[in-house]
Structure 1
Amino acid sequence: MDSSLTHRFVDVNGVRLHIAEQGEGPLVLLLHGWPESWYSWRHQFGALAAAGYRAVAPDQRGYARSEQPPDVTSYTLLHLVGDVIALIEELGEEQAVVVGHDWGAPVAWTAAMLRPDKIRAVAGLSIPPILPGGMVPPSVTRTQYGEGFYQIYFQQPGVADAEFAKDIPGSFRRLLFGASGDNPLGGKPRPLVVPDGLGLLDTMPEPPALPAWLTEEDIQAYAEDFALHGEHAFTGAFNWYRNIERNNELLAPFRGRGIDVPALYVVGDRDMVTALRGPDTPLTAVVPQLHDAVVLPGCGHWTQQERPTEVNAALLDFLTHVDGPTDR
């Protein structure tokens, strides 16, 4: 990574967030997913900065170096979107392009739906726009996939938290490989279900070797930051899942509203998300200004890490579509 990448802390919307940033120009906010951090965008900073953009990636609330509010209800989409809007203002900007992966995608999509005056364009990686609540609520997924569905499993206070915190590097190693396109057992995407009496990590054995896109140094970078929260290393991250039902209740007034800014969607064809039964609605019905929907062959869930070259190309093509060619 370029040495001009810098780190600092900012206070926004009642929480202290760690941010990494590089470059000058129009602001592009990069929102990580579960259970990641700013580090998941390590391959995007340089490309965006070289193209004349200011790339900023926060550790979102509850994650890595950022503050972890103790109240479960402090992790709704309204809180998370509030963090995004406050961060744009704290950075001295009026607007931003927002790019989100995994859980960061619902935050990005929802921010674009609620605040098009602040979000001038949006890109979602892996998770498509499921409006208005960001994700299908547990009351529905329980019927579709059973009690073992991973999002239902995460609802149990302290259970998955303890499982993942027991061996933090091992948890990242298993999960990042297990949900990747390099896992030979994941050739045909399917919903992630935890068998009765087991934990999620029991379904993801230690990889015999790390794939080319992932190093032991990468694993340690994630693990060291999450370890700052001790036995609650993953609790903030799991609390996002514990608000899915609440999100749908709080955002009910916006049901039927779409996204009125330019948009991009990128997904791997081996991503488990492609096997989930979401709302049967064409993307363009929700996002009429959809620039492109890019499907990456052989790519699993960790889109921008597994396929950085392709993701960077898609993002830069999208930004050119939004801003036109520049001399920056």
Structure 2
Amino acid sequence: MALAGDGPLVVLIHGFPESWYSWRHQIPALVNAGYRVAAPDVRGYGGSDKPHAIAAYAIKDMSADIGGLIEALGAEQAVVVGHDWGAPIAYGTALFHPERVRAVAGLSVPHLGRGPVPIVELLRKMFKDRFFYQLYFQEPGVAEAELEADVRRSLRKIYTSIRVENPTGPGFLDRLADPERLPFWLTAADLDYFAGQFQDSGFRGPLNRYRNSERDFAQLAAVDGKLIEQPTAFLAGSLDHVLRMIPGVDMIELMRKQVADLRHVQLIEGAGHWLQQERPVDVNAALLSFLNGLAGDGHQRARLGRSS
């Protein structure tokens, strides 16, 4: 975990397949603005615990980790910010542990609520006999073997592919183009760091998050119909595939129905899925605007600051 700064606590939650390092551009900007920043490796990644059981990666457990981290750091509350899978964990923390969350921000993945059926069931109906990566990830051991065969190549393809090269390839990576060069936002040293993390941790824990759709659905029944009451922000790239995952559905409008105080929404033109790495200046400005705006709500410094 990266921990730096002194002031109101902000917890940054990464997604798949990343680590705390995906927030490398945000940590110094937030610290310089007077915030204390914690960017953990979430359960199953990097330096964090890696339980074997699939059930250990359900949304209540992942959210409890963040609530426990806030308490362990001596803060009464924190602002939680999540990207990709980190966004649902941030939303889950706000719902299951509202006393620990002052405000919440999601990047790339909007909050859509529980829904009528588990997400995996919806995906099976949508894609039927067609390939979809989240369905491919369901069988334990299959995707692990593919991704762990050459970790650096796997991450390079996932981070940089903007097109499907071989739609009939047998595996996930077979379908992704391998770039001739890395994008401007990812250096060889960055890729080496990410690869080193997964060489040590493997992919089972990260993939287990995808294998909890039915369990998440059952656990979220306890907060079904409950709005996120805390001030909320949502950021995404205009080119992010996630926002177009369900054809004809405006996911941001759906999010507005699940959040009581969605006070900041921003689509960053020309950006893709790896938003805080691709466009750090824009993301930092948006986060700081959102965070600084909370001061007007009163008691921010007292409630987010360390209690010790």
Give the structure-2-normalised TM-score: 0.90
1:38 maps onto 2:20 in alignment: yes
Q: Secondary structure at the match of 1:251?
A: helix
* CA shift in 2, pair 1:50/1:31, >3 Å: same
CA distance in 2, matches of 1:169, 1:285: 40
1:58 maps onto 2:40 in alignment: yes
Q: Secondary structure at the match of 2:228?
A: coil
- Pairing of 1:17-28 with structure 2 (within 5 A): 19-28=1-10
| 1:86 aligned to which of 53, 68, 77 | 68
Q: Which residue of 1 aligns with 2:50?
A: 68
Unaligned runs of 5+ in 2: 302-308
Q: Is the 8 A contact 1:110 1:131 kept in 2?
A: no
1:245 maps onto 2:217 in alignment: no
Shift of residue 216, structure 1, vs aligned partner: 0.6
Q: Which residue of 2 aligns with 1:156?
A: 139
Shift of residue 279, structure 1, vs aligned partner: 8.2
Q: Which residue of 2 aligns with 1:167?
A: 150
Q: Is the 8 A contact 1:62 1:237 kept in 2?
A: yes
Q: Which residue of 1 aligns with 2:124?
A: 142
Q: Is the 8 A contact 1:213 1:305 kept in 2?
A: yes
CA RMSD of aligned residues (A): 2.2
Q: Is the 8 A contact 2:166 2:176 kept in 1?
A: no
User: CA offsets per residue over residues 99-154 of structure 1, 9 Å max, x none?
Assistant: 00000000001111222211010000000002237x95111111112342111110
1:108 maps onto 2:90 in alignment: yes
CA distance in 1, matches of 2:155, 2:109: 20
1:48 maps onto 2:30 in alignment: yes
Higher helix share: 2
| 1:260 aligned to which of 229, 247, 269 | 229
Give the structure-1-normalised TM-score: 0.85
Q: Is the 8 A contact 1:26 1:52 kept in 2?
A: yes
Q: Secondary structure at the match of 1:155?
A: coil
| 2:186 aligned to which of 203, 209, 214 | 214
Higher relative contact order structure (alpha carbons within 8 Å, sequence separation ≥ 6): 2
Q: Which residue of 1 aligns with 2:267?
A: 295
Shift of residue 200, structure 1, vs aligned partner: 1.1
1:120 maps onto 2:102 in alignment: yes
Shift of residue 282, structure 1, vs aligned partner: 3.2
Q: Is the 8 A contact 1:132 1:257 kept in 2?
A: no
Q: Which residue of 1 aligns with 2:255?
A: 283
Q: Secondary structure at the match of 2:105?
A: strand
Unaligned runs of 5+ in 1: 1-18, 186-191
Matched letter for residue 282 of structure 1: L
Q: Is the 8 A contact 2:237 2:267 kept in 1?
A: yes
User: CA offsets per residue over residues 13-44 of structure 1, 9 Å max, x none?
Assistant: xxxxxx11111101000000001000000000
1:305 maps onto 2:277 in alignment: yes
Shift of residue 221, structure 1, vs aligned partner: 0.3
Matched letter for residue 139 of structure 2: Q
Q: Secondary structure at the match of 2:91?
A: helix
Q: Which residue of 2 aligns with 1:269?
A: 238
Matched letter for residue 31 of structure 1: I
Overall identity of the aligned pairs, in %: 45
Q: Is the 8 A contact 1:65 1:226 kept in 2?
A: no
